Chains A and B, each alone.
Chain A
Amino acid sequence: MAFTFSTLIQQIINGLSLGSVYALIAVGYSLVYSILLFSNFAHGGFLVVGGYACYYLLTQWGYGVAFSMFGALIASGLAAIITERLAYKPIRERTTTTLYLLIASMGVNIVIENLFVVTVGGRIRALPQNTFPTGIFRLWEGVTLSASDILSLVTAVIFLSLLQIFLNRTRWGLAIRAAACDIRTAGLMGVNVTFLISLVFFVAGVLAAVGGIFLSVRYSLYPQLGSITTKAFIAAVIGGLGSLPGAVVGSLILGLAEMLTAGFISSQMRDLVVYSLLVIMLLIRPAGFFGKAVSEKI
């Protein structure tokens, strides 16, 4: 493939657009990791719940776009809370080994995915065409900017700013930041830790649903859609697990790397580049760009 300036610009636009969707999902991973120190692989499941809730609210029950999206966010947030209460809480209370939580979260992911396979079938669905603006703008020869690119960037900026305001300006945000520092001490200082963890899962679920709706608009909706969160997870690791700015930076890097590979090398190499980036990052700096470096205690 020849190197042309317009391809470069086009792939940067695509990369930023993809990266912004990753960022919404990756922040959820980091948020949960910052409090509970485990990688919640059920995150993909929450995303699928959001996607399907939006689809059914729109098509079966005929609600408006705004209400459907709102409903999807709530549904996904609730799914996250229920998962935490039923699966993670009993494990947390029994042991401090985070591996058990990790395996349980993979189990939850499989359960959610296959619940949809069993109940609504594995068929690929599409959200109605007129749900979101679809126009395509031609910037100049060979470079286009679609409305969904703009929409996903704007939405990511809005939701991530809201999250930032929530964490920095509200009492519960302060509690979450305290718990990220030291959850035991935060509990001793009078923070209701059980409620706080539910809140964190709710916020993570809501963000996952936003990502899920975008992905199902751009591509399509199917039970395995959640597997794309593996890449968002990698973005969170590259940025530094537990760090929110890290998750955003990692997502943009990953989105750009993926799209530039697709544009200039070949689209089959996309995933390989992603996994190589992960391994290289772990070898050079396991804590990621913004993560807290942990040293072994003796």
Chain B
Amino acid sequence: MKRNIILIIIGLCLALWPLGGYQEGIVILMCINCIAAMGVSILTGFTGIFTLGHAAYMALGAYTTAIMTVRYGVHWLPAVIAGGLMAVLIAWLIGVPTLKLTGDYYAIASIGLGEAIRLILENWQSFTRGARGFPGIDPYTTRTMAVTTFIILAIMTFNFLDSRLGRELRASRDDSTAASLMGFNTPHTRMKALVISAFFCGIAGSLLGGYMSFIQPSMFDMMKSTELTAVVVFGGLGSMSGTILGSAAITLIMEYFRDISQYRMLIYGLLLVVIMVFRPEGLLGSREIWELFRVRRQKNNA
């Protein structure tokens, strides 16, 4: 309960604090990136399935919403939800055959599937306008809207992770054989995690489309997928608050270097290597941020 109130207070600060137009854009981008990262964190951090293709679900969300709002004049709210649901549908279709792959092989398959989805969007000229991109999307992603979506999804995620299903995900990550012997249907658990993560990424993609008013298949390539997984690893596998902090931090760092765009990717690459070399467990390891405070308090009492 206390956690939900703190999240709502953070949300109110983000939404109401007076900011200039540029800072407002950063807040929106931060919320979008955090939503996508939360999705990948559920799958990679809490269920232990590594993905390198989740940008494709963002693309699906973005294109569904864009086509619905621009071509059919649907209001953005149902269109954004439809974007998330489209990602869910495709994730389910993909998950049925591929989730039985374990270890690196799922990651490799997800590269192939992610790139295949991007190429289909790129080549389906009549429907998606191809590689040149899809312009003229209503800028429906305002700061209030992005922050509200982020906070609602964050509260849902934290409570979900404490629920029976959340423990089921962790059990199947830590030892899937033991979990299935305890009576969990682990293939179902993995599917649930995939579908939920796809929903988050779909929503993030829809919001991104509404923020940029322009989307292009190349925005959702393998590089973006890698970034999503890298951010989760940076925040700490198995730590949702770490994921959110990590994603916000990476967004700010990349924004800070926007002026020297030539060096931006160089710095990003170096950051990836340096994090993996010096702190592979990420910012918070597998603990949540309040657990750090709790540990300290217990130490003080003793």
- The stretch from B189-197, B199-207, B273-281, B287-295 touching chain A is B273-281
**How many of B's residues come within 8 Å of A, CB to CB?**
40
Pair A115/B266 contact, Cβ less than 8 Å: yes
Q: Which of A102, A106, A234, A283 has its CB near the most chain B CB atoms (within 10 A)?
A: A106
Pair A279/B116 contact, Cβ less than 8 Å: yes
Main secondary structure of the interface of B (DSSP, over half): helix
Nearest Cβ in chain A — how far from B114, in angstroms?
A: 9
Digit string of B240-271 for contact with A (CB within 8 Å is 1, else 0)? Answer: 00000000000000000000001101101111
Is the C-beta of A142 less than 8 angstroms from some C-beta in chain B? no
Digit string of B216-245 for contact with A (CB within 8 Å is 1, else 0)? Answer: 000000110010011001000000000000
Is the C-beta of A275 less than 8 angstroms from some C-beta in chain B? yes
Pair B270/A111 contact, Cβ less than 8 Å: yes
Is the C-beta of A230 less than 8 angstroms from some C-beta in chain B? yes
Residues of chain A contacted by B266 (CB below 8 angstroms): 110-111, 114-115, 117-118
Instruction: Knowing A103-B226, A298-B177 are in contact, say whether A109-B280 is a contact too (CB < 8 A).
Output: no
Checking B108, B222, B230, B233 against A278 with a beta-carbon cut-off of 8 angstroms, the contacting residue is B108
Pair B116/A275 contact, Cβ less than 8 Å: yes
Pair A104/B272 contact, Cβ less than 8 Å: yes
Q: Taking CB as reference atom, which chain A residue is nearest B278?
A: A90
Is the C-beta of A159 less than 8 angstroms from some C-beta in chain B? no
Q: Please, how many angstroms separate the alpha-carbon atoms of A109 and B273 in the complex?
A: 10
Instruction: Knowing A39-B104, A283-B98 are in contact, say whether A87-B276 is a contact too (CB < 8 A).
Output: yes
Checking A39, A271, A282, A286 against B115 with a beta-carbon cut-off of 8 angstroms, the contacting residue is A271
Query: Across the A-B interface, how many residue pairs have beta carbons closer than 8 Å?
Result: 116
A78-129 with Cβ < 8 A to chain B: 86-87, 90-91, 94-95, 97-104, 106-111, 113-115, 117-118
Instruction: Knowing A114-B265, A272-B120, A272-B123 are in contact, say whether A98-B104 is a contact too (CB < 8 A).
Output: yes
Residues of chain B contacted by A130 (CB below 8 angstroms): none
Is the C-beta of B70 less than 8 angstroms from some C-beta in chain A? no
Q: Taking CB as reference atom, which chain A residue is nearest B230?
A: A103
Q: Please, how many angstroms separate the alpha-carbon atoms of A25 and B262 in the complex?
A: 28
Residues of chain A contacted by B262 (CB below 8 angstroms): 114, 117-118
Is the C-beta of A60 less than 8 angstroms from some C-beta in chain B? no
Q: Taking CB as reference atom, which chain B residue is nearest A270?
A: B119
Pair B270/A237 contact, Cβ less than 8 Å: no
Checking A102, A272, A294 against B107 with a beta-carbon cut-off of 8 angstroms, the contacting residue is A102
Nearest Cβ in chain B — how far from A146, in angstroms?
A: 28
Main secondary structure of the interface of A (DSSP, over half): helix
Query: Contact residue range for chain A?
Result: 35 or more
Q: Please, how many angstroms separate the alpha-carbon atoms of A228 and B141 in the complex?
A: 36
Residues of chain A contacted by B272 (CB below 8 angstroms): 103-104, 106-107, 110
Is the C-beta of A276 less than 8 angstroms from some C-beta in chain B? yes
Is the C-beta of A268 less than 8 angstroms from some C-beta in chain B? yes
Is the C-beta of B105 less than 8 angstroms from some C-beta in chain A? yes
Pair A230/B222 contact, Cβ less than 8 Å: yes
Residues of chain A contacted by B159 (CB below 8 angstroms): none
Is the C-beta of B50 less than 8 angstroms from some C-beta in chain A? yes
Where the two chains meet, the residues of A that have a C-beta atom closer than 8 Å to any C-beta of B are 38-39, 86-87, 90-91, 94-95, 97-104, 106-111, 113-115, 117-118, 230, 234, 237, 268-269, 271-272, 275-276, 278-279, 282-283, 286, 294, 296, 298
Where the two chains meet, the residues of B that have a C-beta atom closer than 8 Å to any C-beta of A are 50, 97-98, 101-105, 107-109, 111-113, 115-116, 119-120, 123, 177, 222-223, 226, 229-230, 233, 262-263, 265-266, 268-273, 276-278, 280
